[in-house]
Structure 1
């Protein structure tokens, strides 16, 4: 790609769709956003204990609820940590489509209007807004098939700001990366922090070569788009979230002691050190700290 093509691609990402001009920012704060983790009901307790211990977090008591617009039953918990929160689901019934395919739950100020704004920015409504026991929800899919749940609670949520804001790690093919970034940035009122077209592929488990890495930020938190050809060694591409911590080595010790497995040992990646951890029940997370 020559310099003229790169300039045109950069300008394309900066163009805001006309339909987006009248929409507003529906974000509340990254401390209210949760990665959705689905585990077998039998693994739920072990997973929650391990994740809570690893990140020195605090879980809510488990409740059995219906969180879908059609009949279902799941045990649900939220674990809040200084590095981000997760919503955990251990379904006791089959999981209705398309639940389990969404990656993140974003708290918004108004679900119905947020869905309209996402549509205006190029996302499709995957699950139309519906009422749940404590609020209202919907699921949208951004270009590239990136499914995101919006939620709103009847009672106002109050959580302290995060010490470390996690990053949504989104693997996409080259054909859909630019469309996703344009749509996602428009809806979130976000910005492109960096677009490294020749990032070292060691960051995604390869021994040589490069890949494209795009870092985004908005009122919903951080996101990193990893543009690849899909030739990835496990566990790369299976992780949904990257968690920043103050002390990576201490965090990995707590992970091991609580039953998790470090599947990629700590190693330098540019301006960070990173590792990959598999928790009981199968959830894989990238964990990193700033500096080498």
Structure 2
């Protein structure tokens, strides 16, 4: 592989310091997840907006950032600035491409670190997932992109030397909007792969999303983290459906003040009458997130 090529993801940035033994080969029937603190939302910022985005996220959630590098993170030629943000509320793999991003990169929601990539892909396929990008090498491991029923894309990572990160203060939620026709297929497939479980499956009022009737809300949990699914007719008020991740904070008002003062915009916010206090926030660079109070 060309020495100029570096695959930078949530776990490949050389400025992260850790000491750990390599993972052993993992049996196909064993859980492959490592932990929620090793899984990141993939953020493709608008060109030239990385400085503003990183600054806003750090001022909003706190945390640390790795050295920014200019690299090729795909199996075919491309170039991007890449940086990792680790916050108590969740991790961000940030990309600012200086060339077009090749298909299907940019369409994945997040990246999961796995203990064995071949076993993870075999288990995902057995569970009904498709493989969009076959495994490719990077300087410290291998990667692939898979798609779950319902059109949800995920990048999988494996690394020769295991990183060791501090557990999250609050685990973020992967927020999915899936139709009634594919949601049960997704749930069956993802739970089979993740070895997770259903936390709740209920009907909720979602008029704020533009839904005239109650919608089904399903919450899943596994070693990969949390997943929140909304089963809607797709006729959603802006900006619902555009967010990738939901972040839990102790004080929503304080967090929003920090976000606004660092260049973010509040696109929607719940009223005092609503049971759950949450907001939809757009950070510099275009990234939209849901933030809610614990």
The structure 2 residue matched to 1:199, chosen from 180, 204, 211, is 204
For residues 103-252 of structure 1, the aligned pairs below 5 Å read 103-196=109-202, 198-202=203-207, 204-206=208-210, 208-252=212-256
Q: Secondary structure at the match of 2:189?
A: helix
Native 8 Å contact 2:211 2:236 kept in 1: no
Native 8 Å contact 1:66 1:132 kept in 2: no
Deviation string 1:50-71 (CA, Å, 9 cap, x unpaired) is: 1111111211111111111111
Alignment of 1:265 with 2:274, yes or no, is no
Native 8 Å contact 1:267 1:275 kept in 2: no
Q: Secondary structure at the match of 1:41?
A: coil
Higher helix share: 1
Deviation string 1:18-69 (CA, Å, 9 cap, x unpaired) is: xxx9622100000000000001231111111111111112111111111111
The 1-side partners of 2:211 and 2:114 are apart by 41
For residues 93-108 of structure 1, the aligned pairs below 5 Å read 93-108=99-114
The 1-side partners of 2:225 and 2:273 are apart by 21
The 1-side partners of 2:274 and 2:173 are apart by 16
Deviation string 1:177-211 (CA, Å, 9 cap, x unpaired) is: 00000000000000011111x21113x52375311
| CA deviation after TM superposition for structure 1 residue 130, in Å | 0.5
TM, length-normalised to structure 2: 0.88
The 2-side partners of 1:268 and 1:223 are apart by 26
Structure 1 spans left out of the alignment, 5+ residues: 1-20
The 2-side partners of 1:269 and 1:67 are apart by 46
| CA deviation after TM superposition for structure 1 residue 270, in Å | 7.0
Alpha-carbon distance change, 158 to 175 in structure 1, aligned in 2, over 3 angstroms: same
TM, length-normalised to structure 1: 0.88
For residues 36-115 of structure 1, the aligned pairs below 5 Å read 36-115=42-121
The 2-side partners of 1:271 and 1:289 are apart by 11
Q: Secondary structure at the match of 1:115?
A: helix
Structure 2 spans left out of the alignment, 5+ residues: 1-26
Alpha-carbon distance change, 211 to 149 in structure 1, aligned in 2, over 3 angstroms: same
Name the structure 2 match of 1:12: none
Q: Secondary structure at the match of 2:48?
A: helix
The 1-side partners of 2:137 and 2:230 are apart by 34
The 2-side partners of 1:217 and 1:269 are apart by 28
Deviation string 1:188-237 (CA, Å, 9 cap, x unpaired) is: 000011111x21113x5237531110000000000011111010011000
Alpha-carbon distance change, 26 to 201 in structure 1, aligned in 2, over 3 angstroms: same
Name the structure 2 match of 1:8: none
The 1-side partners of 2:187 and 2:104 are apart by 23
| CA deviation after TM superposition for structure 1 residue 133, in Å | 2.9
Alpha-carbon distance change, 271 to 105 in structure 1, aligned in 2, over 3 angstroms: farther
